[in-house]
Structure formats: C-alpha cells, structure tokens
Amino acid sequence: MIGRRRPATPASNPWHEEGRRLASQLSGLSAAVVTGRDADAAARLALEVARAVASERRVAIADLVGAAEVFAPIGGVREGTGLTDSFVRGLSLNEVAKPAEDGTPGLFFLPHGLEPLSPDVLANERWRRLVVGFAEAGALLLIVARIDQPGLDRLVPSTDGVLAVGDADIPIAWRVLAQASAPASPGPSPASRSPRRRTRHLAWLAVGATVLGGAVALWRPWLPGRGPEAATTLPTASNAPRPGAVAGVAASQAGKRAAAPARSGDSPADTVRVLDPVNPPDSAVAAQFAVELVATNTAAGANLWVRERGGRLPGLTVTPVVLGASSARWHRVNAGAFRERAGADSLLRALRDNGVLRHNAGVVVRRPMALLLESDVSRAAAVARLAALVARGAPAYALLQDDGTVRLYAGAFETPAAAVSLDADLRGAGLHPALAYRTGRTF
C-alpha cells in the first residue's frame, strides 16, 4: 500500500564470517589474545570466534577492554565484579565467571571488573597456570585487550599468540596466529557504546562450567596451582643468547633489523609487517603436524643436539624464533611433517621407545608453514640440492610431493610472524625463500 513502509531487513553481522574463518585456525590452541587499536572491533571478533569454536569445545572470553555493550548478549548489561577484582582483591574466579546469557552451550564470559587494569595484573604468574589449565581441559581462552595496554607484552608470551585486528603494529616478538580485517559495515555509534571503557581482563575461562540452580560450578583449571608449569611452552629468556649459527645459519642481527624497519621515534626492529603464504589453497592439505624435540636458548645447543641425536630423523630442521619482551632468540629442533596428527604421535612414541627422547620429552606441535627454498626438484637430484643448501647455511629438508617431485624447505612455523627471523638469516646468506604452507611427506 502507498504510504506504508516495508519492514526493515535485519542487518547482517559483518564480523560473523570473519569469526568463522579464524576459528578454524585456532584448532589445538588453548589461549589467544585478540587485540588491535579498536577495542570494540577486537571484542566483536572475539565474540564471533568464540561462538564458532563453542560448537566443538568449551571456550571463554576474558574482557580486558570493558566492552560491556559488545558483550551484552553473553554477559548482560550490568557492570560488577570481574577479572580485575579477582586479581587485585583476591576474589575467586568462581565468583566472576558466568555461562553465556544467550544460552550458547560451551561459551563462558569473564567480565572486566571494577578495579582498574594494571601492568601488575597482566604480569601475574597466575595467567600461565590458567593457560595450562585450559590446555589440559582442551578448552580455549580468548583474551580481548587493547594493543597499547601497558603490560600486554608480559601477558602475550603466556598464551599461544595473538589474533591481530585491523592495521595494528604487532611487536616482532609476538606470535601472530591470524590477521583479521575490519569489515566495512560500521558498528554501533559512539553514543551507544558503554560509557565505562575499562581496559582488560584477566582470564581464566570456562573450562567446563555447569549451571545448577543458577550457580556456576567452574572446573579445576581455574584453581590456583592447578597443573604443572607450561612445560610445552618455550620459556622467555631474561638475556638474549649469544649470536651463533642455527644449524649452520648465521644469526644476523643486521638481517633482523632489515626485516623490521623502525618507525619514526621508535627503536629499531620493534615491529614487522608479515607477508602471507604464497600458496593459500594448500592450507587444506598442509603437512601441519611435527614433533618438537628440544628448544634451546643458544644455536650451539640446538646444533649439538642435532649432531648427537638427530641421526637420520625425517624432516629434521632447526627453527630460530624470537620470544619475550627482551626479544630473546630461541632455537627449536623439529622433526617430521604430517597431515594428520596420528603420524606425529607415532613418531614421538618411536623416538621415546628408541631412547632418542626421554619418556616425558618432546611434544607434538602444529606448524603448517615453512620457508620454501626450491620446488619441482627431481627425486634423483634432491639429495645433491639439499646438500648444497645445507652447505650455504640453510636448515633445509625435503618433502616428496604427490606428483613425484620434491620441494625443499627450511624451518617450521605456526604463524607467518614466527618465520621472520629465519627468513632474514637466509636472505643474508644470499637465498630467496618464500613463506608457504608446506606440503608433501618425508622420504
């Protein structure tokens, strides 16, 4: 009829698809910091990622930005005690965590709290115990924080890494799990946002929560002291290791500086722009699982382990990685390249049974990317080409492709950012690596 308006079509959520896309990249991880310059954007992304993950396992959101309006569907609109109060005033996390109010199974929420967020809270050792608890329970903790929050560099190393939102400059020492682009559709107007913008949340998340008569019973991973220290997580060294070769690769500090141009007014090598893999379609068939045999804070230690125990291990490589606020350089010795986790589990058991590793040493890791050095190498020429690369200082290994050709790789990385250090070393040695999803099998 003339003069009558048609009902408005409900606006779609521009973050929904981005959240679903990134959720698949968190498989096997237990904790991630979702961060960017726009706190609301980080919160919206975390909410959609959590909803997607909750269909498969328990997930909790820790709000360290005070995005009450964004999290209203799962946390309600009232402000009260939360994570900061738990850390500052000694409250139990059982008192602040809550299941999602919209009824999403397996999704839990930790509100910000009334106390201000301080660097001391983010540096608290309790974070690491919480992350270990999540890992033991197979759950995921998403911590939403501003990129400029003082003390965030103390929290990030306790987690698996960051989900970067927008164009925020991520410190080179942090592991970038994924990069999210802000959708074009605008979010709520500034006037509709919560007036009380707190800064962050401490996080323990719902590792299993049961609602009985309106009470929330949180599982043991939230309890202080639960579980061992994060044995499978590389420590952060207090001092940078001595320069040295990584399986023959010179640790070029000049190369690292070249890889991370300084911004005006900042110290050199503070941030870095990370390139995407050259073969994104291969992510679905990547040889993503490997066994981390040992991690040392010197190249000499990694090389000694390889000489004494490496033998003829398949897919053996040494990967340098920069960790911690001090940008300390560690060296991971990895072996194997498997599409399915079962292959890596089998290799780890064999290494323990044969005495190459102690009964409690080694860990299966997900590292789908590597630096591609050569492709389309014939199987007959692969051994000679591999030897030539090793002679030039590359920690190279070969993977046989389905078409019978061989690709030569160096390193194994969980994120593009983790590849920056070795990429700089190899370029300093005159090589031209390309970041790629590694494909094929050892032979």
Which structure tokens are listed for 256? 């690292």
Strongest mean pLDDT among 251-265, 319-333, 400-414: 400-414
Q: Can you name the residues that pair with 371 across neighbouring β-strands? A: 410, 435
Q: Report the alpha-carbon distance of residue 161 to residue 29 in Å, rounded.
A: 9
Predicted confidence band of residue 78 (pLDDT cuts 50, 70, 90)? low
Q: What's the pLDDT band for 224 if we cut at 50, 70, 90?
A: very low
Our CA angle for 170, 269, 306, nearest 5°, is 95
Give residues with Cβ within 8 angstroms of 1, minimum separation 6.
none
pLDDT at position 215 is 27
Position 17 scores a pLDDT of 80
Hey, what are 260's tokens?
């991370």
To the nearest whole number, what is the mean pLDDT of the chain? 75
Residue 187 has pLDDT above 50, yes or no: no
- Domain boundary assignment for the chain: 16-222, 245-437
Structure tokens at 349: 């058991």
- Percentage above 70 pLDDT, the chain: 73
pLDDT band at 359 (very low <50, low <70, confident <90, very high): confident
Mean pLDDT of 135-157: 90
Q: Which CATH number fits domain 16-222: 3.40.50.620, 3.30.70.20, 3.40.440.10, 3.40.50.300?
A: 3.40.50.300
Q: Which of 132-136, 250-254, 437-441 has the lowest mean pLDDT?
A: 250-254
Question: Which of the residue ranges 86-90, 254-258, 355-359, 419-423 would you say has the lowest mean pLDDT?
Answer: 254-258
pLDDT band at 15 (very low <50, low <70, confident <90, very high): confident
Structure-token pair, residue 228: 């061992």
Mean pLDDT is lowest, of 11-20, 262-271, 349-358, for 262-271
Q: Specify the 3-state DSSP secondary structure of 20.
A: helix
pLDDT digits (tens, 9 = 90+) for 196-210: 333 333 333 333 332
Task: Of 76-90, 121-135, 277-291, give the lowest mean pLDDT range.
Answer: 76-90
Using one digit for the tens of pLDDT, what is the confidence trace for 256-303? Answer: 333 333 333 333 333 444 578 999 999 999 999 999 999 888 888 888
**The predicted structure's pLDDT at residue 124:** 87
State pTM to two decimals. 0.45
Is residue 236 helix, strand or coil? Answer: coil
pLDDT at 190: 37
| CATH topology (fold) of 245-437 | Alpha-Beta Plaits (3.30.70)
Q: Once rounded to an integer, what is the mean pLDDT over residues 168-173?
A: 78
CB 62 within 8 A of CB 139: no
Instruction: Report long-range pairs for 134-138 (Cβ below 8 Å, ≥24 apart).
Output: 134/30, 134/31, 134/60, 134/204, 134/205, 134/207, 134/221, 135/30, 135/31, 135/230, 135/232, 136/221, 136/226, 136/227, 137/58, 137/207, 137/208, 137/219, 137/221, 138/30, 138/57, 138/58
Q: CA 272, 273, 274, 275 torsion: positive or negative? A: negative
Indicate whether 393 pLDDT > 80. yes
User: Per-residue pLDDT tens for 21-46?
Assistant: 888 888 888 899 999 989 999 999 99
Distance CA 183, CA 19 (A): 11
Q: At what angle do helices 16-23 and 39-53 cross, to 10 degrees?
A: 60
The confidence score (pLDDT) of residue 238 equals 27
Task: Determine the pLDDT at residue 264.
Answer: 37
| pLDDT for the residue numbered 258 | 34
Picking from 314, 442, 304, the residue whose alpha carbon sits closest to that of residue 379 is 442
The CA distance from 396 to 383, in Å, is 11
Arithmetic mean of pLDDT, 328-334: 86
Provide the 3-class DSSP secondary structure of residue 128.
Answer: helix
What is each CA distance from 25 to 287, 290, 314, in whole angstroms? 14, 16, 26
Q: Which of 139, 111, 105 is nearest to 26 (CA)?
A: 139
